[in-house]
């Protein structure tokens, strides 16, 4: 048995009325594997705990198979949770740890048959008589998963179960979790801040920021058509190139996007998406380019839809099967604030008679509901570039993925070709305007 989970405008606040989850709405189909993805502190674990019944819902409603479940006790929801820290009883053997919830649910019933079946499924039959202190991290996580599986739950709720493991073991268990949940066909909600886990495991991925749902879709659609700058920057390795630009659309000339010292000339005839960019004439925008949207090649080898720019090699990262080259193109990167941090706590507001009218207070609240600005454009586009990149920023403004065949060294000037068909354009608020959000293209094209 599996079940559908629906959250409608769910909110949760702690001290001082700060909402850690804000009007969160999501429908999860029976048997679906959904991943909640976002930086630490964005509220994804709180959403999971509200589904489990471990946290009260302040506003909104939770539906399980279409029935109101806000006040349903955790035990009555028949869900199993797998935690980050394993949560095993140190004085119990593996057999007792897996069988403990079965003995609680059905006193007097022998749990051994279900424990043995679960152990065979996970390949831990030889570990049933060992204590947690005698197990490795991966073995402990298998026992924790076994305790959840043995209950035959209606849903699995997994809160970063692999984050305490080393990279090799994490990749191995990731594949096991994927195969196991599909074999069992149980609805699974998986919380992680690791985009590689999200993209490889989930049927769908829900991206969160500051307690607000940013985008939900298949891993492919979220990567190929990010709704805003945050979703684009959070998903993808290396991170998407985000450059500040200005749209130039003269009536008697070609449309271009100025990137400072260089520009991207949009091929003619203009596509419908590029024609709609005319309304941004003279405005500052954010240009998004994945590392695979740019290649090293001479202008004479340009394919239809590719435009030429040049870049100065700043840094070369050898990855073995590929190379990541950091170029300086004279552009100015856009800054996505707090990408890896929780939403900042707003200052305490004191009640004053001159605190503003009702409209001012509504504007303030609306800003909080949007979880703050997605992107920051701090200076005008024609300002002089920063003399040095901020601390922590990688060198250069454009990262290109290429093969190890190129012999590139620091200071070399290299011709680059940009595939305009894979160009993203975001407005100064960070919302995607190209491709047009109202007309999603077919990803099979």
CATH hierarchy code of domain 240-345+371-383+393-434: 2.40.50.140
What number of CA atoms fall less than 13 Å from residue 73's CA on the CB side? 2
pLDDT of residue 357: 57
Q: Which residue has the tokens 């099979």?
A: 444
CATH hierarchy code of domain 5-229: 3.40.50.300
pLDDT of residue 376: 54
Residues of the chain below pLDDT 50: 340-355, 361-370, 378-392, 441, 445
pLDDT of residue 393: 53
Q: Tokens for 321?
A: 């099967």
- Beta-bridge partner residues of 242: 288
pLDDT of residue 172: 83
pLDDT of residue 373: 58
* Per-residue pLDDT tens over the stretch 34-73: 999 999 889 999 999 999 999 999 999 999 999 999 999 9
Q: Which residue has the tokens 């130039």?
A: 248
What's the predicted TM-score (pTM) here?
Answer: 0.83
- Where do the domains of the chain lie? 5-229, 240-345+371-383+393-434
pLDDT of residue 137: 85
Q: Tokens for 95?
A: 């057999």
Backbone phi, then psi, for 411, in 5-degree steps? 95, -10
In this chain, the answer to whether the domains covering 5-229 and 240-345+371-383+393-434 adopt an identical fold is no
| Host H or E run for residue 96 | helix 94-105
pLDDT of residue 307: 94
């Amino acid at each position: 048995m599996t079940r559908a989970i629906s959250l409608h405008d769910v909110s949760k606040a702690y001290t001082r009325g700060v909402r850690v989850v804000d009007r969160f709405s999501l429908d999860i189909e029976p048997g679906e594997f959904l991943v909640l993805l976002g930086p630490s502190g964005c509220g994804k674990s709180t959403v999971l705990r509200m589904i489990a019944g471990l946290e009260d819902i302040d506003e909104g409603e939770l539906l399980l198979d279409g029935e109101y479940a806000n006040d349903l006790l955790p035990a009555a929801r028949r869900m199993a949770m797998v935690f980050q820290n394993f949560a095993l009883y140190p004085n119990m053997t593996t057999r007792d740890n897996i069988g403990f919830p079965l003995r609680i649910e059905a006193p007097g019933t022998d749990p051994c048959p279900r424990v043995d079946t679960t152990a065979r499924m996970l390949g831990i039959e030889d570990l049933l008589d060992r204590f947690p202190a005698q197990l490795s991290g991966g073995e402990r996580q298998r026992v924790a998963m076994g305790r959840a599986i043995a209950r035959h739950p209606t849903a699995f709720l997994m809160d970063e179960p692999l984050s305490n493991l080393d990279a090799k073991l994490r990749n191995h268990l990731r594949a096991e979790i994927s195969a196991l949940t599909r074999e069992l066909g149980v609805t699974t909600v998986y919380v992680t801040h690791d985009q590689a886990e999200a993209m490889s495991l989930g049927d769908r991925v829900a991206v969160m920021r500051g307690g607000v749902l940013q985008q939900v879709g298949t891993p492919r659609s979220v990567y190929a058509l990010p709704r805003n700058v945050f979703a684009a920057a959070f998903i993808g390795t290396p991170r998407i190139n985000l450059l500040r630009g200005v749209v130039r659309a003269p009536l008697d000339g070609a449309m271009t996007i100025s990137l400072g010292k260089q520009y991207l000339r949009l091929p003619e005839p203009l596509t419908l998406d590029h024609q709609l960019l005319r309304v941004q004439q003279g405005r500052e925008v954010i240009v998004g380019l994945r590392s695979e949207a740019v290649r090293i090649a001479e202008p004479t080898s340009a394919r239809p839809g590719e435009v030429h720019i040049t870049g100065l090699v700043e840094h070369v990262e050898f990855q073995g099967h590929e190379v990541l080259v950091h170029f300086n193109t004279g552009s100015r990167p856009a800054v996505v604030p707090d990408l890896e941090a929780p939403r900042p706590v707003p200052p305490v507001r004191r009640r004053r008679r001159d605190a503003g009218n009702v409209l001012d207070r509504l504007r303030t609240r609306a800003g909080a509901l949007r979880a703050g600005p997605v992107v920051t454009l701090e200076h005008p586009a024609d300002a002089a570039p920063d003399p040095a990149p901020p601390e922590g920023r990688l060198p250069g403004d454009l990262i290109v993925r290429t093969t190890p065949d190129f012999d590139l060294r620091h200071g070399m000037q290299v011709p680059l070709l940009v595939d305009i068909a894979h160009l993203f354009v975001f407005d100064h608020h960070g919302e995607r305007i190209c491709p047009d959000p109202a007309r999603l293209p077919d990803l099979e094209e």
